[in-house]
Chains A and B, each alone.
Chain A
Amino acid sequence: MKVTIERANLVKALTHVHRVVERRNTIPILSNVLIRAVGNELRLKATDLDLEVTESIPAVVETAGGTTVPAHMFHDIVRKLPEGAQIELATRADGATLDIRAGRSRFSLQMLPESDFPDLTAGAFTHTFQVPAAQLKRLIDRTQFAISTEETRYYLNGIFFHAVEAGSDLKFRAVATDGHRLAQADVVAPHGCEGMPGIIVPRKTVGEVQKLIENPDASVTMEVSDSKIRLTFGEVVLTSKLIDGTFPDYGRVIPQGNDKELKVDRDEFSAAVDRVSTVSSERGRAVKLALSEGKLVLSVNNPDSGSATEELAVDYDQDPIDIGFNSRYLMDIASQLETGTAVFRLADAGAPTLISDIGETGALYVLMPMRV
C-alpha cells in the first residue's frame, strides 16, 4: 500500500474513529485502526467488537492495499504533524511496518495483518429513515444523563428509542432511566420509522453519536434491525450492537394524577439548590423542599458539617408539603429544561414527581424522592 493524504482530512477521520478504540485491550488487534487504500480514497475503520466506526477520505493512491496500526499512536502522530502537510503512508515489503512521512518527519509503526481485523457483520436492516441531526442530538442530550451505570441492570445501560403514537401523531421517542430518575424526549416521527422495533442503544454508542453530529442542519440516516443499528453521517458510518434486553414498561412510571403544581424560576431554583447543597456530604446529597403557599424553603442538614437554608418565592397554592430529593439529580434535570420556568407536579413525599418545562416541549422528567 502506498498513499498520500492531506493532514487535515486524516486528522478529522482519525479523530472520529480512534475514540472507539479502548485504551486497554486484551486483544492486540482491537488497539489498531484499519486503513485501506482503494480507488481514490482511504478507508479507516475502528471497532471494540460492539461498536464500529468507518470513514472514507480522499487520497492519492499509488498502490492499493490495507493494513492495521495502533490507533491512538497513529492519531497522535498525525495530529502533531504541521498543518497543511501532505502525509505519505507506505507499507514496507516485509509486511510488518508502515512508514509515515510528512515533510522532514519520518515514523514507522508496527502493523498487524488486515485479515485479523474483526468485522461487525451488520446483517439486514428492517427499517431505514432520515432524522434531522438537530433532532437526534436533542433526543440524546435530553435523556443521556439518566442512563444507568449499574451493570446488573444492563437493559437500562442505554437509551430506549422507539416510535409511539401520541393521539393522532406519531412520535419518535427516547427514554432513559436509572431507577432514580427518568427522562423522556419526543420529536416528530421521521418518515419510515413506523413499526420499528423498540431498541436500546448502549451508552458508549450514544456518546459517539452525539460527538459525530457536527452539523446540526445535516440529516442522519438511521438503519435499524432488532440487534444492530447503523447511522450514516455523510462519510462517517457508525454500526453498533444493541442491548439485548427488554426495556421496562416506563409508561407506568410516569405519574398521571399528581395534583400539586409548583412553578419556579429554573435558574433561581438551580442556583439555590447548588448553594444549599454545598454543606451536604459526599454521599447523602438530599435537599429538603418545604412548600407552602407562595413559598419554597430549600434546606440541607448535614450532621457532620452544618446546615443551609434558602427561601424562594414560587407559584404554589396547594396544601403544604415537605419532600426530599437528591440535589445533583435536581440540578441535572434543571439544566435540561428549555424554558425559564420549571413545573413540578407532586403527589406526596414518597411518590415520584413529574418535572417539565412550561408549555409543551416534548420532554419530561420523573424523579424519585429521597427520605429526608
Chain B
Amino acid sequence: MPSGADPSHITGPFCRDCLTPATAPRCRACGSPRLLKHPQLHELAIAHVDCDAFYASVEKRDDPSLADKPVIVGGGKRGVVSTCCYIARIHGVRSAMPMFKALAACPDAVVIRPDMEKYGRVGREVRRLMLELTPQVEPLSIDEAFMDLTGTEALHRASPAVSLARFARRVECEIGITLSVGLSGNKFLAKIASDLEKPRGFSVIAPSEAMDFLRDRPVSFIWGVGKATQAQLEREGIRTCGQLQTADEAQLMRRYGVLGRRLARLSRGIDDRVVEPDRETKSISAETTFDADISDFPTLEKTLYSLSEKVSGRLKKEGVGGRIVTLKLKTPDFRQLTRARQIGDPTQLADRIRRAAIDLLRREIDGRRFRLIGVGVSDLEPAERCDPPDLVDRDAEKRAKAERAMDQLRGKFGGRAVELGIAYRPDVTEEATPQRDRPMPQRRDNADKPVGGRR
C-alpha cells in the first residue's frame, strides 16, 4: 500500500486506500476502486464508527484457518448468536438468533464461545486509536462509538474525512480487523451512514440531502421508534419518514408529546444531540442463559449468587454502587420480565445485591420456567456513599468485611481462589424433583440476628 501524499492537499475526492486525490473510477496511484467522493466531503465532522462483525472478526484474526469459514460467536447449545461473520450472514444467520436456528440455517458454521476479555482488549485498542484523533469520543458499546472531529483539521493537517479514512486503514493494519465509518453533520445521520456499506464501508450523508435520503425509509429508521411506536404510527397510516416530513412539528407534538418532536426533527435529518465523551455509566448488570429452562428456586438462587458477585466486582472496579437492584427473567417464549427494588443506601456489596435479588425472585417462583436470569444495579453513586454502617444490622459489617477479604484473595490468587459454599451445592434437576413434590421456597429469614422481640 503506498504511503500516500501529504493529505493536507486533499480538497476533493480521494482514495481510501492510499489517501491520494483521485477522480477516475479507480485510483491512479494504487488502482483501488474505493474512492470517496461527495460535494461536502471535507465539511462534515460527526462520525459513527462501527467494527464489522466484531467478535467474529477478532476470532478470524487470531485463527487464520477460519478465514473462509462461516463463524458464529455465541453461547452454548442454548444461547443465542452474539455475532456472526459475513459468510454466515449469507446463509441467513443473524445476531440474536437462537443457536439452534442458526445451526439449522448454516450447519457448517464454526461456533466459538465468546471471550469477552479478549474482545474488551481489542475494543480498547480501537478506542485508543480513536482518541488519537479527538478526545470527543462517545462509546456506545465495546465496538462502536460516535466521534466529533470538529476543529481537528489543523492538528492532523487533514479534513475529518481524510483523518477517518487514515484511522480505518490503521485499524486494519495495526489491529487486524475492519470497520465501517458513517460521516455526517449529526449523530443520527452518521449512525445511519455507517450501516449503508458494511463491511469496510465509508458513507457520507450531508444534512442537506437528508430529506431526500429519508423520504422512502420506514419510520423504524428513526432512533427511538421501536415495535410499539411503529405499530402506533402504522395504525394512523404513517409508514415512511417522508410522511412525517410533511407533517407539522407542532401537530406531531400535540399527538405524541416529546416523541412527536423527535419524529418531526429526525425524519428531516435534524438532530442536535452533541457527542458526549463521558456519558456516565447508568447501570451495571450480568445475566446468564441456561442450557435447559429452569423453574426451581434453589438453582435460580444459586445462579444469583454468582451473578451478584460478578456485578459487585464490576461496581467495585468502577468505584461506584447503586440503590436500585433489578432482577431480569426471560420465559421460554422469550418474554422478558424485570422486577426492581430500591434499597435504602447505595451498595456495591454482592451480599446486599443478592439479598434484594433473591427476595424479588422468590415472588416470581410459581412453577414457571425461565431460560435466562440476570441482575443489575442502577442509580449509581460514588463508592464513598455506599454501604454506611448500620445501627441494627451488626452482621452486615462482618459480612462486608468478609466480602472485602475475599475480594483481596481473589485479586491476589485469581477469580476462583475463594468461593461461597453454595457454589458447590448440587443443582436440583427438574427430573429429580417433580413439580408437585417440590417444596415451597422457605419463608425469608431476617438479616439481623434476632435476640429480643417476639417469642
Interface 0/1 of A164-178, CB less than 8 Å to B: 000000000000011
> Contacts of B341 on A, CB cut-off 8 Å?
151-152
> Chain B's nearest CB lies how many Å from the CB of A274?
22
A251: Cβ under 8 A from any B Cβ: yes
| Assembled-state Cα–Cα distance A182/B392 (Å) | 9
> Across the interface, do A249 and B389 meet the contact criterion of CB distance under 8 Å?
no
Q: Which of B200-241 contact A (CB under 8 A)?
A: none
Known: A246-B446, A248-B448, A371-B384. Is A198-B454 also a contact (CB below 8 A)? yes
Known: A152-B341, A247-B452. Is A368-B384 also a contact (CB below 8 A)? no
> Contacts of A182 on B, CB cut-off 8 Å?
391-392
> Across the interface, do B455 and A248 meet the contact criterion of CB distance under 8 Å?
no
| Assembled-state Cα–Cα distance A251/B343 (Å) | 25
A213: Cβ under 8 A from any B Cβ: no
> Across the interface, do A248 and B446 meet the contact criterion of CB distance under 8 Å?
yes
B419: Cβ under 8 A from any A Cβ: no
> Across the interface, do A156 and B392 meet the contact criterion of CB distance under 8 Å?
yes
Interface 0/1 of B390-401, CB less than 8 Å to A: 111110000000
> Contacts of B455 on A, CB cut-off 8 Å?
197, 226
> Across the interface, do B454 and A368 meet the contact criterion of CB distance under 8 Å?
no
> Chain A's nearest CB lies how many Å from the CB of B440?
15
Query: What total of chain B residues lie within 8 Å of the partner, measured CB to CB?
Result: 28
> Contacts of A248 on B, CB cut-off 8 Å?
392-393, 446, 448-453
> Across the interface, do B384 and A152 meet the contact criterion of CB distance under 8 Å?
no
| Assembled-state Cα–Cα distance A156/B389 (Å) | 16
> Contacts of B393 on A, CB cut-off 8 Å?
153, 179, 248
A297: Cβ under 8 A from any B Cβ: no
- Most chain B CB neighbours (cut-off 10 Å) among A160, A197, A249: A249
Interface 0/1 of B414-455, CB less than 8 Å to A: 000000000000000000000000000000101111111111
> Contacts of B359 on A, CB cut-off 8 Å?
151-152
> Chain B's nearest CB lies how many Å from the CB of A199?
7
> Across the interface, do A177 and B391 meet the contact criterion of CB distance under 8 Å?
yes
Partner of A352, one of B344, B391, B447, B449: B391
> Contacts of A156 on B, CB cut-off 8 Å?
392
Closest B residue to A155 by CB, please name it. B446
> Across the interface, do A368 and B355 meet the contact criterion of CB distance under 8 Å?
no
B252: Cβ under 8 A from any A Cβ: no
- Most chain B CB neighbours (cut-off 10 Å) among A248, A249, A352: A248
> Chain B's nearest CB lies how many Å from the CB of A249?
3
Closest A residue to B341 by CB, please name it. A151
Tally of A-B Cβ pairs under 8 angstroms: 89
> Across the interface, do A283 and B391 meet the contact criterion of CB distance under 8 Å?
no
Partner of B446, one of A245, A284, A350: A245
Q: Which of A108-167 contact B (CB under 8 A)?
A: 148-156, 160, 162
Interface 0/1 of B67-105, CB less than 8 Å to A: 000000000000000000000000000000000000000
> Across the interface, do A178 and B451 meet the contact criterion of CB distance under 8 Å?
no
Partner of B343, one of A150, A155, A162, A370: A150
Closest B residue to A146 by CB, please name it. B391
> Across the interface, do A179 and B453 meet the contact criterion of CB distance under 8 Å?
no
| Assembled-state Cα–Cα distance A248/B450 (Å) | 5
B410: Cβ under 8 A from any A Cβ: no
Partner of B390, one of A154, A162, A179: A179
Partner of A246, one of B343, B344, B356, B450: B450
> Contacts of B385 on A, CB cut-off 8 Å?
283-284
B43: Cβ under 8 A from any A Cβ: no
> Across the interface, do A197 and B454 meet the contact criterion of CB distance under 8 Å?
yes
> Across the interface, do B388 and A370 meet the contact criterion of CB distance under 8 Å?
yes
A253: Cβ under 8 A from any B Cβ: yes
Other A-B pairs, 16, CB within 8 Å; known A153-B344, A153-B448: A148-B344, A149-B344, A152-B343, A152-B355, A177-B392, A179-B391, A180-B388, A197-B454, A198-B452, A198-B454, A247-B452, A247-B454, A248-B393, A249-B452, A251-B452, A368-B388
A–B complex contacts, Cβ < 8 Å, 23 sampled: A150-B344, A151-B359, A154-B444, A155-B446, A156-B392, A160-B453, A179-B344, A180-B344, A182-B392, A197-B454, A197-B455, A198-B452, A198-B454, A199-B454, A226-B454, A247-B450, A248-B446, A248-B448, A248-B451, A248-B453, A251-B452, A283-B381, A368-B391
State the A residues within 8 Å of B (CB). 148-156, 160, 162, 177-182, 197-199, 226, 245-253, 283-284, 350, 352, 366, 368, 370-371
State the B residues within 8 Å of A (CB). 341-344, 355-356, 359, 381, 384-385, 388-394, 444, 446-455
Nearest 8 interchain pairs by C-beta: A249-B451, A246-B450, A248-B448, A247-B453, A249-B452, A179-B390, A150-B344, A248-B392
